[in-house]
């Protein structure tokens, strides 16, 4: 199996970066830009974005995101942008907004600029969109031809976003190294469609090290709504390093356990990265990782405020039967848990979640 590394063509991060969106759009297209934007962005940031396009005399059309990355929404936007004669797509907002923009670029065969308003996941850099029904139920994964042309992150915007989202992004990023390590050791297939590489593993390891160094100080800066050096580092960690690390390094048990837990209604209020952080604790138990390694991860979760037990995810007094349902779902044939360097059974996952819950409590 080949070693495969995916990444966006350009990654740009800094305070006020959104004010230069018009420059990157004009470098990719000639006719105009079509922006898929979230309501919060349109209300609070649109005038600053629009100003640059007006001054550059580059056409900009805005579409208010309807809330779900569904095929109906994607097709509607593809038809609208053709009517407007635009040749660059911009996704500006949260995760589903960005996934929609990436899917529109895929179907319209146009370049894409991604401008995340939060740093809660590593999705902005990936060549993947998660498709839902109009009602919000998961439908399918759309694997894209390539990663975004440009990912443009405005740290001033991230600093003003809810702190919980930044911390959840740390939870998602925290699993990156440990899952990439498992894939590297097993030779498992990554999201990029190949075998993990030394480069991807090195990025994943740097992702972990940055979290341990900067996580708490970044959270404190976010609580003060200010951009510090630590916050700047964590935004890059959550968005780029974790993005490269997961896509080219591979996923394993932590994300599979996250997926398994989603069959239980009690966890639906928890964010993606919050569930992943508990999934990582369970993965480390599953691996029988050294106690000092487990403690380092557990201490970090407690330090920044990530869930460390089932009750914190909303699963107070969860029954053995329900937890076994989650364990079986985590071990579905298509799940990434089979990238672990040993055979994993639902019974082993059930046990790992119970032990992780006790250790985390």
User: Do 125 and 151 touch, CB atoms closer than 8 A?
Assistant: yes
Maximum Cα–Cα distance across the chain: 62
Three-state secondary structure of 47-112 = HHHHHHHHHHCCCEEEEECCCCCCHHHHHHHHHHHHHHCCCEEEEEECHHHHHHHHHHHHHHCCCE
Residue by residue, DSSP assigns 306-349 as: ---STGGGT-TT--HHHHHHHHHHHT-TTSGGGGSSS---HHHH
Neighbour count for residue 329 (Cβ, 10 Å) = 19
Neighbour count for residue 12 (Cβ, 10 Å) = 17
Of the candidates 343, 121, 354, 154, the one whose C-alpha atom is nearest the C-alpha of residue 253 is: 343
**Catalytic member of 172, 232, 233, 357:** 172
CA distance 209 to 25: 34
Of the candidates 106, 71, 83, 95, the one whose C-alpha atom is nearest the C-alpha of residue 34 is: 83
User: For this structure, is 338 an active site residue?
Assistant: no
User: For this structure, is 255 an active site residue?
Assistant: yes
The dihedral built from the CA positions of residue 216, 253, 101 and 71, taken in this order, carries a sign that is negative
**Catalytic member of 99, 154, 233, 255:** 255
CA distance 117 to 313: 25
Contacts of 228 (CB under 8 A, 6+ apart): 217, 218, 221
Strand partners, 114: 91, 151
CA distance 115 to 260: 30
CA distance 120 to 109: 28
User: Do 155 and 232 touch, CB atoms closer than 8 A?
Assistant: yes
**Catalytic member of 122, 154, 272, 357:** 272
Consecutive H or E run containing 215: helix 198-223
Task: List residues with catalytic annotation.
Answer: 172, 255, 258, 272
């Amino acid at each position: 199996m080949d070693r495969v590394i995916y990444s966006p063509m350009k990654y740009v991060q800094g305070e006020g970066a959104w004010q230069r969106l018009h420059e990157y759009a004009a470098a990719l297209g000639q006719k105009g830009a079509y922006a898929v934007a979230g309501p919060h962005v349109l209300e609070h940031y649109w005038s600053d974005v629009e100003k640059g396009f007006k001054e550059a005399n580059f056409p900009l059309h805005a579409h208010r995101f309807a809330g779900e990355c569904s095929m109906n929404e994607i097709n509607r936007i593809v038809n609208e942008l053709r009517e407007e004669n635009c040749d660059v797509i911009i996704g500006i907002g949260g995760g589903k907004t960005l996934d929609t923009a990436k899917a529109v670029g895929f179907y319209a065969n146009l370049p894409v600029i991604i401008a995340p308003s939060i740093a809660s996941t590593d999705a902005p850099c990936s060549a993947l969109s998660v498709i839902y029904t109009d009602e919000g139920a998961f439908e399918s994964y759309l694997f894209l031809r390539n990663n975004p042309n440009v990912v443009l992150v405005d740290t001033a915007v991230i600093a003003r976003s809810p702190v919980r989202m930044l911390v959840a992004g740390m939870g998602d990023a925290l699993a990156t190294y440990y899952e990439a390590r498992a894939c590297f050791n097993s030779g498992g297939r990554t999201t990029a469609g190949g075998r993990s590489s030394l480069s991807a593993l090195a990025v994943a390891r740097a992702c972990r090290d940055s979290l341990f160094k900067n996580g708490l100080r970044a959270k404190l800066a976010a609580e003060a709504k200010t951009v510090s050096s630590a916050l700047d580092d964590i935004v890059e960690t959550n968005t780029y390093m974790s993005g490269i690390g997961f896509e080219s390094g591979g996923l394993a048990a932590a994300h599979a356990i996250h997926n398994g837990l989603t069959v239980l209604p009690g966890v639906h209020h928890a964010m993606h990265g919050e569930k992943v952080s508990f999934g990582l604790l369970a993965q480390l138990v599953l691996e029988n990782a050294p106690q000092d390694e487990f403690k380092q991860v557990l201490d970090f979760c407690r330090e920044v405020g990530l869930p460390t037990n089932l009750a914190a995810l909303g699963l107070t007094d969860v029954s053995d039967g329900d937890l076994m349902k989650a364990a079986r779902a985590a071990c579905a044939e298509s799940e990434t848990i089979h990238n672990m360097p040993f055979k994993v059974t639902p019974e082993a996952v059930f046990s790992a979640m119970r032990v992780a819950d006790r250790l985390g409590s």
